[in-house]
């Protein structure tokens, strides 16, 4: 009779991979929201829209790069940029 030689599952490694996937997904969603806000500024902004949008894109890229190295809390720098840039956008329109 053939023996079952399949190794058992490494659940610790699966949990680690899943946790990394969730952290990367959070960072990706917040970064995409940042870029959407920058596109909104480019599309509907006034005279300074290109400058403000460019600063927003660069800040989003920097926050995403920092977030990649932070691990589980990597979405926080991008979220801070989203909130600050969103407030600046709303205040500049008013």
Q: Are 34 and 81 in contact (CB under 8 A)?
A: yes
Q: Are 31 and 64 in contact (CB under 8 A)?
A: yes
Question: How far apart are the C-alpha atoms of 24 and 29, rounded to whole Å?
Answer: 9
Paired tokens of 21: 């996937």
Question: Can you tell me which residue has the tokens 């329109």?
Answer: 93
- Is 60 exceeded by the pLDDT of residue 73? yes
Q: What is the pLDDT of residue 93?
A: 66
What pLDDT digit, counting tens, does each position of 74-91 carry?
889 999 999 998 888 887
Q: What is the pLDDT of residue 94?
A: 58
Look at 38-42, 68-72, 89-93 and tell me which has the smallest mean pLDDT: 89-93
Question: How far apart are the C-alpha atoms of 91 and 85, rounded to whole Å?
Answer: 10
Question: Can you tell me which residue has the tokens 């599309």?
Answer: 43
- Is 90 exceeded by the pLDDT of residue 41? no
- Is 80 exceeded by the pLDDT of residue 36? yes
């Amino acid at each position: 009779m053939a023996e079952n030689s399949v190794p058992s599952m490494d659940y610790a490694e699966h949990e680690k991979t899943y946790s990394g996937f969730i952290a990367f997904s959070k960072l990706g969603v917040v970064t995409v929201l940042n870029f959407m806000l920058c596109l909104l500024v480019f599309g509907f902004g006034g005279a300074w829209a290109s400058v403000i949008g460019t600063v927003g894109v660069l800040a989003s890229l920097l926050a995403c790069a920092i977030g990649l190295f932070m691990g589980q809390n990597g979405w926080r720098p991008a979220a801070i940029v989203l909130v600050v840039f969103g407030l600046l956008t709303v205040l500049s329109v008013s």
